[in-house]
Structure formats: structure tokens, C-alpha cells
Amino acid sequence: MQYPEPIAQLIESYMKLPGIGNKTATRLAFYTITMQDDDVTNFAKSLLAAKRDLHFCSICGNLTEDDPCPICQDKSRDQATILVVEEPKDIISMEKMKEYHGLYHVLNGVLSPIEGTGPEDINISSLLVRLQKDETVKEVIVATNASSEGEATAMYLSRLIKPAGIKVTRLAHGLSVGADIDYADEMTLFKAVEGRTEL
């Protein structure tokens, strides 16, 4: 027995979201049907508004309603430092910390030869243009994830930026606070030893 067409289309739509398989999509579709009409209408409006009203900042690549984004417009931030992240959501994580006061640059992806993602597919060229135009930038902090793709992207950026005389640093990786050494994998331990600091 097949689902009625409206449910089948709704399931198919949910399955287009990352990490949503057939079972989860089916559960979400049936839940959506049981929602109040006002809630469904508001949900649909939120989806449309997010798609219509948000765009990428022309300077840093962050998601924003205004261009340039509020962070790029804020002249009180440290203009000499740019922290490079993979996705806009990473900026939110950094801002929650309330310790970093510089600027950002969003790559909107990482280099991944397996998936066919090269330098032209992510937001690298605008970073290089930005660094050429703005001589106040003294340091680029690469904050890509500690995956093989994140590491490859960090190394690639370092090779491009260092010749311009700009300091390139990488976020420290290793043991998290409160972690036990015997539970850590080899790569985590290697990064912890590599990034050790003097006491």
C-alpha cells in the first residue's frame, strides 16, 4: 500500500534534509499532519522567510539580513584578526564564548577531493581578495574542524596566505577539559602532545 500523494511528497521533502532517512522523514510527515493549522502556517512562513530574507555577507560570507553583516559593520572589533570557519553556525559558537573580538570569514565548506569540492567551490577567493585590500589584517586564525578535510583546508589556506607576510595560526586541538587520557583516540592524543604549552 502506498501513501497518499501529499504525504509521499512531504516525506520526500523531509528526506532532502541532511541526516534524515526514510523512517525519520515518515515520522516527521505524520507529525506535521497532526499539527495545528496555525503552527503549520507559521512553520511554512519561517521556511520561506529564512530562504527569502537571508543571504551571504558580501565581505565575510556569514548569513545575514543586512549586507554587510553586523559583525563586519562593527568597527569596535579587532580589525587585525580574521577567524576562518567552515559554516555560519560556527560563528555563533565562537560568539557564545565572548572571548574572541576579531572578524570572521566563512568558507561555506571545506576542500574534499572525494566529494569533488575544490578551492573554487568554497569561499576562498574572496578571503584572498579581502586580505589584499585590507593591510590592517595581521593574523588569520584557521578554525576548520579537526577532520582530514578540515586539516587539508587549513594547510591549503596557510600555503596561500603566509607568502603575503600574514601570520596564520590554527585553533589548538587535543584533550578537552575534564577528559581522561585512556578514553582519547590516537589522533586526539597526538594533537594534544603537538599543541602542548609551557607551564
CA distances from 178 to 50, 175, 181, 183, 184 (A): 38, 8, 10, 11, 12
In a domain, 198, yes or no: no
- In this structure, the answer to whether residues 89 and 26 fall within a common structural domain is no
Which pLDDT value is given to residue 137? 94
Quote the number of domains for the chain. Answer: 2
In a domain, 104, yes or no: yes
Which pLDDT value is given to residue 147? 85
| β partners of residue 4 | none
pTM of the model: 0.81
Scanning the structure block, which residue is given the C-alpha cell 512531504?
Answer: 10
Long-range contacts of 8-15 (CB under 8 A, 24+ apart): none
DSSP annotation string for 64-97: ESSSS-HHHH-TTSEEEEEEEESSHHHHHHHHHH
pLDDT 10s digit of each residue in the chain, 199 long? 689 999 999 999 999 999 999 999 999 999 999 999 999 999 999 999 999 999 999 999 999 999 999 999 999 999 999 999 999 999 999 999 888 999 999 999 999 988 899 999 999 999 999 999 988 999 999 999 888 899 999 999 999 999 999 999 988 777 677 767 677 777 777 777 777 656 5
Query: Which CATH number fits the domain that encloses residue 149?
Result: 3.40.1360.10
- In this structure, the answer to whether residues 41 and 102 fall within a common structural domain is no
Which pLDDT value is given to residue 31? 97
In a domain, 177, yes or no: no
Which pLDDT value is given to residue 76? 96
- In this structure, the answer to whether residues 18 and 100 fall within a common structural domain is no
Which pLDDT value is given to residue 181? 67
In a domain, 34, yes or no: yes
Give me the domain span that covers residue 133. 77-170
**In this structure, is the dihedral angle defined by the CA atoms of residues 62, 68, 70 and 76, taken in order, positive or negative?**
positive
- How many of the other CB atoms lie within 10 Å of CB of 86? 20
Query: Which CATH number fits the domain that encloses residue 24?
Result: 1.10.8.420
